[in-house]
Structures are given as C-alpha cells and as structure tokens.
Amino acid sequence: MRYSAVASPLGDLLLVGDGESLSGLYFADGRQPPTLDPSWTREDAAFDEVSRQLCAYFAGELTEFSLSLAPHGTPFQQRVWSALRTIPYGTTTSYGRLAFELGDARATRAVGLANGRNPIPIIIPCHRVIGADGSLTGYGGGLARKRWLLAREGRALPFV
C-alpha cells in the first residue's frame, strides 16, 4: 500500500491506496484516526490527482469527483457507498430514504452503520446524509466538519 498526507481546510488528510485506486481517506484527528502500517510506502506522486481534485473541491471549483476508488467493505456496505455517490452535490438525503432507495425501508440502521464505516469520506459523500428531521447526525470527522462540507456545497443547516 501507498500513502500520502495532504493539508485541507478540514485538517490534515491521510490518503491510502495501491497506486491505481484510492482505498482510504482519513482525518488525522477523526473518530478513528489512521494508523500507518510499517509496510506502507509514502508516495505523494501516486496521489497527485486525488490531491488536485480535493483542492478543487475545497475551492468550490469541483462538484463531482472522477477518481478510481477501491473501498474495502461487505457487499452491503459497497451498495450503500455506491448509493452515496449518486447523491448530487448541494443536496442531502436521509438514512431512511437511502434505505428505501436500496430496496429495504427497514434497513435504516444498517444504512447508518455502513455510512459510518465509509473509508473514503468527502469523495464518497457520506456527509450528505442527515436525519429524517433535517438534523445533523454523526460523522467520523465530527459534526463541525460535516456542517462545513454541507455549507461548502451551499446547503445551509440550522445550528442545533
């Protein structure tokens, strides 16, 4: 595996991948801070395109990422993460709505758990999923980052 660190308006981000696809993006001080495996190699150049697109997103110049992604997870998690990528920039959905769209309206909790295990936040936009009542719910990078990302996308939310 290869990795790189990139600065962002949300703090340092750790990027992890195989040189072809991105498999992880982690907030250095998030809920589950990353641990560098001693076998990994730092290779910043392998993540030039990821870094470029993240910078453009943070600058408000990019609304859709075009990157090769390889998140590791269960088949259900993969379905949820794929569905997350269809949520348009500047919009939000609820966990219940996402469960309904995946074919099982009763799977709200399972969708929430899969959302919380998203290994590539921002690019796989789990921040666009909010509570059914419009409230912010958990986010691995913290609610302040979730609020910032939604505001960056023009989605103003009340402070509660």
Catalytically active residues are 126
User: 72-78: long-range contacts at Cβ-Cβ below 8 A with a sequence spacing of 24 or more?
Assistant: 72/23, 72/119, 73/114, 73/117, 73/119, 74/114, 76/110, 76/114, 77/114, 77/117
**Strand ranges inside 10-143, DSSP E:** 13-17, 22-27, 41-42, 93-94, 129-130
Query: Is there a contact between 95 and 129 (Cβ–Cβ < 8 Å)?
Result: yes
Alpha-carbon distance of 77 to 97, in angstroms, equals: 16
Q: Where are the alpha helices (DSSP H) in the chain?
A: 48-58, 75-84, 95-101, 108-116, 143-152
